Amino acid sequence: MQYDWILFDADETLFHFDAFRGMQLMLERQGVVLTEADFQQYEQVNKPLWVAYQNGDITADELKHTRFKRWAEQLGIVPAELNRRYMQAMADICSLLPGAGALINALHGQVRMGIITNGFTDLQSARLERTGLASHFEHIIISEEVGVAKPDPRIFEHALTLMGNPDKQRVLMVGDNPHSDILGGLNSGIHTCWFNPRSEELPAAIQPHYQVSSLAELQALLLA
């Protein structure tokens, strides 16, 4: 094994993140039917908020409040409570991506592992427990708790400190987002692997050490 540590992103690297189905389930529980038009209107607000959050322009609480403000007013529920119900719905529909369970189980005992995610604490904890993977990861680094989000190098430095400051050349970051996972890892001096199942074009000036199209391919690469 070339690496002592492997750090994973969570959403769309290990776990499916079906935002539409999560919203749909959350609103069904409030007696509301979510339309595609409703969801697209939500995404027009939500997506720029995530960019602002990753850039450090807004806090996690501001993101949670703003993205659900319209729905909260419509339903007569405070945004924080609606966000909590959404996180519960997302946890209820959680599932691993193809090959994720096999990969983590194969790596367990061969290398030390952690997660660095820009997601929120309640959802990450619930999904790891429900999928039986929580004990496989020594550290779960969540941007909401650290106060900075990927690609900010400070969240990676925080992780490395928790890990005992290992040799950076023996640490690999795996993620599906080139701008947060890969650029953040590269700027922190660790090795990176872009998980690219949709064969997207690599952004200019971002050069991961590896690129894989499936988690089975990553497993073969790491355990060759």
Please list the active-site residues.
9
Tokens 């993101």 correspond to: 63
Give the closest residue to 3 by CA, choosing from 201, 213, 172, 139: 172
Helix (H, G, I), strand (E, B) or coil at 143: helix
In degrees and rounded to multiples of 5, residue 66 shows phi and psi of -70, -40
Which amino acid, residue 141? I
Within 10 angstroms of residue 7's Cβ, the number of other Cβ atoms is 28
3-state secondary structure 47-91: HHHHHHHHCCCCCHHHHHHHHCHHHHHHHCCCHHHHHHHHHHHHH
| Sign (positive or negative) of CA dihedral 20, 40, 145, 79 | negative
CA–CA gap between residue 86 and residue 134 (Å, rounded): 22
